[in-house]
Every structure is written in structure tokens, then in C-alpha cells.
Structure 1
Amino acid sequence: MRLRPLTPIEARVLGTLMEKARTVPDSYPLTLNALVAGCNQKTSRDPLLNVTEAQAQEALDSLKQLALVFETSGGRVARWEHNFQRAVGVPEQSAVLLGLLMLRGPQTAGELRINSERWYRFADISSVEAFLEELRDRAEDKGGPLVVLLPRAPGMREQRWAHLLCGAVDVPEPVAAAPGGAPRDALQARIEALESEVAALRSTLQDVCEQLGLSQPGQA
């Protein structure tokens, strides 16, 4: 199935439903209020958004027309759940990776493996890369590629992956290092990569602590 490009809010709504189906199954399907709270949470989101109820409802209505979500019957309050895996025609592992990319932006295979712990436990980074490559090489008759591997930034050891559900991604041209500045640029890039990995681990820890009602280590 070839989808039209999603809007950023549609992608956030869809990704949030996919996340909560796995991380808080007892409260899933989600009410509109719970969905808006999930879209706007301050952890595990990049970029941070401020989605209104009206915007979330409009996105749900559009996603419903694409068969990506549906409203459950029964109960006094309408609840929503996603239909991503069946509608797009991808395996569970691929759906997990696409959901994470929609919620957290471009990530390396290593970051995706760390961030997927509460969604799905991949055996190793190689298995993550295998599913990403399958999504990148997806045949046109199945809807075409769903992810792209971004160029390695100067001095960066790992490349990041981005989803294509919102359309083509602007891929910046690699910037050549200035003469004599390569060692410092490479060191700075490695520091930034490490900081990114630490931030991802910290975000995952905070998310887990919030779900369990615990304080993070070092906090009162």
C-alpha cells in the first residue's frame, strides 16, 4: 500500500497510538484526552509538540480514511487504536522501528535498539539493521521505501536512519573539514555522539520511572 505523505501531527498521533499499545496496554485503546497527553509528553519525543484536541481529532479523522486507525465501539467515551502493521503491510519489528522514528526523529541503529526495549526486544544491532535495510529496499509494488539512511556527519562513527512516512527527507550534503581542523572536528563529533547516546538512555530511564511511579536515581 502506498500512502500519501503524513503531516507531522498525523505522524505524532499515529506513533503515539503505536507506542501506548505496547507500553501501557491496560489503558489502550486511548481516549482523545490520553492521546493528546501522549502526543505532548516531554520525554521520548523529538521534536516536542503542543497538539490541541482539535488538531488530534482532525488527524484521527484523516488517518481513519487511510485505514491507519479506527475507533472502537462501546463505552461512554470514544477510544482509538492503530492499524498500522496491517494497513502498511510490514512485520512487527519494522512497525516498531517506524513508530520510534516517527516519535523520536532520526536515530542510529544502536539508538533504535536501546529505545525499542519497552516495545520489542531485538537480539542485537544486526537484527535492527536487517529490518531497516528491508524497509529501505522495499519494492515499489509494495509502496516503496519507508526509511532512508542519512549521510554520516563529519567525524561521526554511525549513520542515522529517518522515516519517509511524511515524504522525502532533506538530506544535507556532507561538510568537508577545514584543513588542519579534522582531529578537533572528529573529537567534537564523537563527544556529541556520546552525549546523544547518554541523552537517549536518560530519556528511556525517565520514561520507565514515570510508568512505574518511581523517582530517578539521584532525585529526592
Structure 2
Amino acid sequence: MTLTTASPPLTPILTPIEARVLGTLMEKARTVPDSYPLSLNALLTGCNQKTTRDPLMELTEAQVATAIDELKSAGLVRETSGGRTTRYEHNFQRGIGVYEQAAVLLGMLMLRGPQTAGELRLNTERWYKFADISSVEGFLEELQERSPEKGGPLVVKLARGPGTREQRWAHLLCGPVDATQTGAEHASRSGDGSVTGNLAARIEHLEAEVAELRETVQKLCSELGVSPPGQS
């Protein structure tokens, strides 16, 4: 990890692995709060999961541990004490100096790559409920116009790719990106990104709801002293 030479405060430039580790911690803090902070093993599993990740990664425990050390040095991850297992939590919002809504958007961009404002609104639904696409665009524009005194821009609006109707946004936490090339590559990978992204996000949201309902049913059955449906 290196630091930019912009005026203070300095904005860390992350490696792709550090971005994946940080994004995963940010995601799990909101989607599985009962299991957060994360152990090294849980963090590794989250980094390597095969859904809601772009690109997919096959990281090793050593790679994740090294990334944690670098992020701790940059003040973006903290180690929590207590218990027999060391656990980790992010300090992104304070470490980077952004509002909660901006942190949510940056976290999702780190995990899933370039996305349209509409995709971001849908994909972040379990993290934060934006009122509409315009509010998402407003925070993205603020991040794009961030002044040098605050560390400089953190996102960039990509050129519209072939066959796409909306422009995508990409984060700059890993350094500058080629706006034209990145937009085209993402469009080629996902085809109609708005449809593919929306479908994946809806499936993930439904799965989360089913899990919550199942847990609620199990608690009610336990309180009533009866077996859950499907069990003798």
C-alpha cells in the first residue's frame, strides 16, 4: 500500500486484495452484524465467496493477513480484543473521511466493480436504503468532485460502453482507472448489466429474507415447545 502525494489528509491507495478485504468487512458489518467483527477465517471466506463479487478471487490466509496489517497501518481496520479468536472490524468512514452514504457506495464498488447508479441503489439495499436513484447520483457526484484538501476524487464516471444505456461509476481507491476501457470491459463481461445486476441483487435479498423468516419461525417454535415445520 502506498499513499498519494496530494494535500493532507492523504488518501490511501489500496491494492486489489486490500480493497477486497476492506469491502468484505464493510459488507459483513451490515449484513451479518451478529457475526461481526470477523475472524481471519470468516474474512477469508467472505473475500473468496462466489456471489456478489467482481472479480472473483482465490486468496490465501497469508494474503488476507498481509492486507489486514497494511490496512491497520493506514487506520482503516482495527483489531478487536477479547475472546480466544482475534477479530477485525473496519474503520473506513472515519479513516477516509466520508459520510455514511458515501462509504456504502464505495464499499459496494470495491466488492462488485463498476456499476450504474441504479445498480448501486439496488445492490446496497441491505446496507442502506437510498430514497431514489437521484440521491445515489448526488453522493457519487460529491465523491467525484471531492476537493484536493479532502484527499481528492474517490470515484469516476466511466464512458458509456457499447450497447449500454447508462454510464457506470468506478472507485479510485486503487488508483486511477481507464474510464473508457473499464466501462467496455464491464459491459462485455455482464452483457446487459442492469438486468444481470438487478437479478442477482434480488435473489440475494430474497435469500436473506428467507433466512430471517426461518430464524423467526425456529424461535417461535422453541418458545411454544413445538418442532419446526418439516421436523418430527
**What TM-score, normalized by structure 2, do the two folds share?**
0.80
User: 1:138-193 CA distances to partner (integer Å, 9 max, x unpaired)?
Assistant: 0001000000000112342210000000000022369xxxxxxxxxxxxx99x933
The count of residues paired between Structure 1 and Structure 2 equals 198
Residues 1:113 and 2:113 aligned together = no
Q: Name 2:89's counterpart in structure 1.
A: 81
Residues 1:192 and 2:191 aligned together = yes
User: 1:70-114 CA distances to partner (integer Å, 9 max, x unpaired)?
Assistant: 100111000000000001110000000000000000000000001
Structure 2 CA distance, aligned partners of 1:120 and 1:99? 11
Structure 2 CA distance, aligned partners of 1:71 and 1:173? 38
Structure 1's unaligned 5+ residue stretches are 175-187, 215-220
Structure 2 CA distance, aligned partners of 1:46 and 1:169? 16
How much has 1:199 moved relative to structure 2? 1.9
Q: Name 1:66's counterpart in structure 2.
A: 74
Structure 2's unaligned 5+ residue stretches are 1-8, 213-232
Q: Report the secondary structure of 1:50's partner residue.
A: coil
Residues 1:162 and 2:170 aligned together = yes
Give the alignment partner of residue 24 of structure 1, picking from 24, 27, 32. 32
CA contact (8 A) 2:156 2:179 kept: no
Q: Report the secondary structure of 1:172's partner residue.
A: helix
How much has 1:42 moved relative to structure 2? 0.8
Structure 2 CA distance, aligned partners of 1:160 and 1:200? 12
CA contact (8 A) 2:118 2:133 kept: yes
User: 1:14-55 CA distances to partner (integer Å, 9 max, x unpaired)?
Assistant: 000000000000000000000000001111100000111110
CA contact (8 A) 1:43 1:206 kept: no
Name the % identity: 65
Structure 2 CA distance, aligned partners of 1:107 and 1:206? 18
